[in-house]
Amino acid sequence: MQPLQGKHFLIFVGDGYEDLELWYPKYRMIEAGAGVTVAGHEGGAKYTGKNGYPCVSDAAIELMESADFNGVIVPGGWMPDKLRRDDKVKELVHEFAGAGKLVAAICHGGWIPISAGVYPGIRVTGSPGIKDDLINAGAVWEDAPVVVDGHFVSSRKPDDLPQFCEGILQAMGVATAGAA
């Protein structure tokens, strides 16, 4: 069964991304039938994860249009702290949120929706290291493996990846057994 057939997701990449937080959701969405585009500052560039795993981007962020996707998935690591300074990244996330499309962030990935200004009043979780940042951005903090608030999905760490992906499926309207 491919419940996400015809859906397409954008995943951001940059040096210092959390390896598992990019690859696990990417393959889980593909397994569910979705298309995935991994975009970095440069298309076709090789980025190295925190643990050394390489990822070659499919496209350049500056060429991405939110209308071409059903949502965005933001891995953590050190990458989000750099990418959140990119106006195009913030614009894309703001557009996804405004259109009611999926905005999913795990661990330090929450920094990007914070900088895009889309978290006020939204229930979220994330790495305890950015808890204060999330609260200061107006989000409602919950300490849980996954928090689904409408089209927003968030998780804390790599150990939460199964629940994170279940939360994404739930937010996309796919019945699941484990998301909160």
Structural domains of the chain, count:
1
Is residue 37 situated within a structural domain?
A: yes
Report the distance separating Cα 91 and Cα 128, nearest Å: 26
Confidence (pTM): 0.96
Tell me the pLDDT band of 177, cut-offs 50, 70 and 90. Answer: low
Does residue 20 sit within a domain?
A: yes
Name the band, by pLDDT with cuts 50, 70 and 90, for residue 178.
Answer: low
DSSP string, 48-99: E-TTS-EEE-SEEGGG--GGG-SEEEE--BSHHHHHTT-HHHHHHHHHHHHT
Within 10 A of 38 (CB to CB), how many other CB atoms are there? 22
β partners of residue 56: 46
> Is pLDDT at 179 greater than 50 in this prediction?
no
The 10s digit of each residue's pLDDT in 19-38 is: 999 999 999 999 999 999 99
- Give the CA angle between residues 116, 11, 94 to the nearest 5°: 20
Q: Catalogue the active-site residues.
A: 108
Asked whether residue 2 is domain-assigned, the answer is: no
pLDDT in tens, 38-67: 999 999 999 999 999 999 999 999 999 999
CA 57 centroid distance within chain: 15
Rounded to the nearest 10 degrees, how much is the dihedral formed by the CA atoms of 110, 114, 117, 118? 30
The reported pLDDT for the residue numbered 175 is 74
Torsion over CA of 37, 42, 48 and 49, rounded to 10 degrees? -50
For residue 108, is it within any domain? yes
DSSP state of 110: G
Query: Which structural domain, as residue segments, surrounds residue 46?
Result: 8-171
Domain contains 1: no
What is the C-alpha separation between 162 and 169, in angstroms, rounded? 11
Q: Is 94 inside a domain boundary? A: yes
What's 36's domain CATH number?
3.40.50.880
Residue 17 in any domain: the answer is yes
Residue 103, beta-bridge partner list: 72, 152
End-to-end CA separation in angstroms for the chain = 22
The answer to whether residue 72 is domain-embedded is yes
124, two tokens: 């979220």
